Structure 1
Amino acid sequence: MKALILDASLKTATVKDIPLPLPAPGELLIHVHSIALNPIDSLYVAHPLGATGRVVGSDFAGTVVSLSPSTPSLSSSKSESKDEKKEEACKLKPGSRVAGFLQGACSVNERPGAFAEYVVCAWDLVWEIPGNVTFGEAASISLCGLTAAQAVYYRLGLAAPFGSIESLGLRSRDAQADEEGKEIDFFIYSASTSVGMYAAQLVRRGAEASGRRTKLFGTASGKRFQLLRDEPCKYDHLVDYHNADWVQHIRDLSDGHGMHYALDCISEGDSVRLVAETLSKDGRLGIVRSREGGAWEADDLRVEPIYGAVWECLGAEVQYQGLTVPASPEARKFATEFYRWLSEGGKLEPNPVRKMPGGLERVVEDGFALLGTGSMQDREQRRGEPWMKPVGAEKLVYNLIE
């Protein structure tokens, strides 16, 4: 098969022919139809963590080719009860349309990546694509959608539409008094990012499930306001982050008491400090990038930001950015519950996608050039092709099979 392979010495990636992967116990072999790009994909090619020869890339969507013989399927399950069968058995079969993500070259650990014609992935870390969603749209959901779900439900502690935190065997992290009818103010900084748009939807789904009245506040460029006010995000209040006084504006919109929850979807430069200033006395702040990774610095925050790597979903130790993320069975269980919810009709609409021309051979030349090699400020691409306009409120998608 063809795959996009890291060249750590030259800090790039090139398409090469490599053997097809073989599914280990509990894994699926998947024929990839579409891939979606994330900033971490280009970041860890420009600043390699892994050795030359790693398959790069995270998000994929495709069709199941085969299951490892030891993967528990509904037809072969010997569970003692129907409830156990639902928990333990894989409902997927050859031909099933699925999406997921892999860690690839985004860690020191040797793990496969997604930018290839075929991938292997644990059967419980993919979700079945509904018929009204294209492969390209589905490829854009898995990593950013789970990142948002982890932040909103698993770390900040809002009620989840697929079961309470307690039902997952986790301690509730809700910082707010469990007062009947209490209104929640939730603020999302950089609301038009992929994580931000999925987080808004998930805040809405959580409010619907719990019956808690929730107001959604966000910052974005003014030209994105109509997109964010419409379904599926339905923001109540939006402030242009170009305004120097946006922090005070957000606080004023909350009648001066500040936000109960905030999620910083950029977490670099001064953003963490500024977002922290929007919070109420007992507010909670989630971030998507760690201090240890060098993304931000602030020593006088009114709250301690809550950070966790999306890679926790693997349930295995992960080493990256000088960090060691310990294995977390709870985080793995949360991810499988989230993907099961998606498979069973959970309401999460795909973000807008930009279909990029070409396949694997154009990812570095075009897609990585658009995403840059790290921060949001590192996106200075000035090429004139229509597909090379600056990225905003959309995911870059390549179809490997038309």
Structure 2
Amino acid sequence: MKALVLTPATKDVSVQELPIPQPRDGEVLIRVHAVALNPVDAIYAVHPIAEQDQRIIGTDFAGIITSVGPNLESLSDLRTKIGTRVAGFHQGACSTNDRPGAFAEYITAPYDLLWSVPDSMSLEAASAVSMCGLTAAQGVFSRLGLPCPFDGQVNSSVGTANDVTNVLIYSASTSLGLYAAQLVQLSARASGRKIRLIGAASASKHDFLRKAPYNYDVLVDYRDPNWVEKVKEATEGKGIDRAVDSISEGESVYSVNNTLNDNAKMAVFRGPKGGQYDPSELRVKPIYGAVWEGLGHEIGYNGAIIAANPDARVFATKFFNFLSTAAADGKVKLEPNPLRLMPGGLERIVPDGFELLGSGMVSKRSDTSRNEDYMRPISGEKMVYKILGE
């Protein structure tokens, strides 16, 4: 099979021929049809932290099960059946310990960390959901404590049932922000809680964000120098109760922190080092965690060891079970991000996709000098590459 392989010592990334992996106990083999790009895919290829001679890179994928590992044939779960359309995510080269990558023609994965893709959704669209969707779910539910519709937790750690909970999503049109908004709305419907959803995003995205499934109550332009004050006004002076900073870099962290009330919680998705902020300067300490915890393994990541977290893995399996119910009832649980289908397959991920993603701070991403339409600046879209047509 072909795979996109990083050589950490030289920072070289190239398409190579490798043996097709074989599924172990609890795993299935997947023929990959589409992969979606995330900023971490480029960051840890250009600035490797992997310590092996070579690593397959990439996180998000979708494809079709072609074989199953030992002891799975007797299970009734669709995700253990040959021919099932599935999606999930791997860690790729985003760790020091050897973890599988997704950018290959065939991959193996634990069946319970996959979700069954409904017939109404393309595999290209499904490839854009898993990692970013789980990241948002961890932030909204595990860290902010909003009622979770799929974890049996409909109580909230904020206010009473009659209170209005003010929730802010900064950079609301990003992939992470789009999933976070949908999950907040699902939380409100499942629990009956009154939530005022406030978004900070470019004014050009406001009409889009007012519509289903995002349904923002209030939107401000984050380029407006007075946006923090406008957010506070929207809360009737009470301040934000729960905040998701979808960028989590430098000034965004400080600004979002300034919207919070004294009892608030704030979820961030980059640590102080990567996000370049100082927690000691923040009145409300942000809550950070890595999506990789959901994979259930000890992980070496950015100079730290993230211990294996059984609870995080259980949460991840419940999230993917929740997404899988769409295959039975036909009701998509999370609408995929708007897609930008990129040409060229594995061979063009680095020269095109990584150039658009950049390898540093998302907030400082620069435009490319390329004039192809598919190389226009990324805004509110997920880049997807076809590996094999459906």
Q: Which of 360, 364, 368 does residue 374 from structure 1 map onto?
A: 360
Give the structure-1-normalised TM-score: 0.92
Which residue type is aligned with residue 347 of structure 2?
E
Q: Which of 200, 213, 226 does residue 245 from structure 1 map onto?
A: 226
User: Which whole-Å CA distance do the structure 1 matches of 2:372 and 2:74 have between them?
Assistant: 47
Counterpart secondary structure, 1:33: strand
1:243-282 paired onto structure 2 within 5 Å: 243-282=224-263
1:184-223 paired onto structure 2 within 5 Å: 184-223=165-204
1:394 to 2:381 alignment: yes
Residue 52 to residue 386, structure 1, CA distance change in 2 (3 Å):
farther
* Residue of structure 2 in register with 1:104 after alignment: 92
Which residue type is aligned with residue 262 of structure 2?
K
* 8 A Cα contact 1:21 1:118, kept in partner: yes
User: Which whole-Å CA distance do the structure 1 matches of 2:229 and 2:73 have between them?
Assistant: 54
Query: Could you give the per-residue CA deviations for residues 152-207 of structure 1, whole angstroms, max 9, x where no partner exists?
Result: 011111111113349xxxxx8x4413x23221110001101101000000000010
* Residue of structure 2 in register with 1:304 after alignment: 285
Counterpart secondary structure, 2:352: helix
Query: Shift of the alpha carbon at 1:245?
Result: 1.4
* Residue of structure 1 in register with 2:36 after alignment: 36
Q: Which of 104, 126, 137 does residue 114 from structure 2 map onto?
A: 126
Q: Which of 136, 142, 147 does residue 135 from structure 2 map onto?
A: 147
User: Which whole-Å CA distance do the structure 2 matches of 1:378 and 1:266 have between them?
Assistant: 12
User: Which whole-Å CA distance do the structure 2 matches of 1:180 and 1:113 have between them?
Assistant: 43
Query: Could you give the per-residue CA deviations for residues 62-98 of structure 1, whole angstroms, max 9, x where no partner exists?
Result: 00011101237425xxxxxxxxxxxxx6653000000
User: Which whole-Å CA distance do the structure 1 matches of 2:129 and 2:146 have between them?
Assistant: 20
Query: Could you give the per-residue CA deviations for residues 109-152 of structure 1, whole angstroms, max 9, x where no partner exists?
Result: 10110000000011100000011110110000000000000000
Query: Could you give the per-residue CA deviations for residues 334-382 of structure 1, whole angstroms, max 9, x where no partner exists?
Result: 0000000000026211110000011000000100000000212133312
Residue 72 to residue 90, structure 1, CA distance change in 2 (3 Å):
farther
* 8 A Cα contact 2:168 2:240, kept in partner: yes
Query: Could you give the per-residue CA deviations for residues 16-45 of structure 1, whole angstroms, max 9, x where no partner exists?
Result: 001111111111100000000000000000
Residue 150 to residue 73, structure 1, CA distance change in 2 (3 Å):
farther
Which residue type is aligned with residue 338 of structure 1?
F
* Residue of structure 2 in register with 1:349 after alignment: 335
Question: Which range moves more in the overlay, 89-98 or 134-143?
Answer: 89-98
Which residue type is aligned with residue 379 of structure 2?
G
Which residue type is aligned with residue 120 of structure 1?
T
1:67 to 2:39 alignment: no
* Residue of structure 2 in register with 1:176 after alignment: 158
Q: Which of 376, 385, 390 does residue 372 from structure 2 map onto?
A: 385
Query: Shift of the alpha carbon at 1:7?
Result: 2.2
User: Which whole-Å CA distance do the structure 1 matches of 2:124 and 2:179 have between them?
Assistant: 16
User: Which whole-Å CA distance do the structure 1 matches of 2:259 and 2:334 have between them?
Assistant: 27
Counterpart secondary structure, 1:299: helix
User: Which whole-Å CA distance do the structure 2 matches of 1:342 and 1:224 have between them?
Assistant: 26
1:54 to 2:88 alignment: no
* Residue of structure 1 in register with 2:329 after alignment: none
User: Which whole-Å CA distance do the structure 1 matches of 2:376 and 2:197 have between them?
Assistant: 29
* 8 A Cα contact 1:185 1:259, kept in partner: yes
Query: Could you give the per-residue CA deviations for residues 268-301 of structure 1, whole angstroms, max 9, x where no partner exists?
Result: 1121111111111211100010114353234221
Counterpart secondary structure, 1:120: strand
User: Which whole-Å CA distance do the structure 2 matches of 1:72 and 1:209 have between them?
Assistant: 35
User: Which whole-Å CA distance do the structure 1 matches of 2:123 and 2:275 have between them?
Assistant: 35
* 8 A Cα contact 2:55 2:93, kept in partner: yes
Which residue type is aligned with residue 158 of structure 2?
Q
User: Which whole-Å CA distance do the structure 1 matches of 2:144 and 2:152 have between them?
Assistant: 13
Query: Shift of the alpha carbon at 1:48?
Result: 0.3
Which residue type is aligned with residue 392 of structure 1?
S
1:363 to 2:364 alignment: no
Q: Which runs of 5+ in 1 are unaligned?
A: 76-88, 167-171
User: Which whole-Å CA distance do the structure 1 matches of 2:230 and 2:279 have between them?
Assistant: 22
* 8 A Cα contact 1:175 1:284, kept in partner: no
Residue 12 to residue 220, structure 1, CA distance change in 2 (3 Å):
farther
* 8 A Cα contact 2:22 2:108, kept in partner: yes
Q: In the comparison of the two structures, how many residue pairs are matched? A: 382
Counterpart secondary structure, 1:303: coil
Which residue type is aligned with residue 110 of structure 1?
D
Residue 73 to residue 344, structure 1, CA distance change in 2 (3 Å):
farther
Counterpart secondary structure, 1:293: helix
Question: Which range moves more in the overlay, 47-56 or 131-140?
Answer: 47-56
User: Which whole-Å CA distance do the structure 1 matches of 2:279 and 2:138 have between them?
Assistant: 23
* 8 A Cα contact 1:292 1:322, kept in partner: no
Which residue type is aligned with residue 271 of structure 2?
S
Which residue type is aligned with residue 127 of structure 1?
W
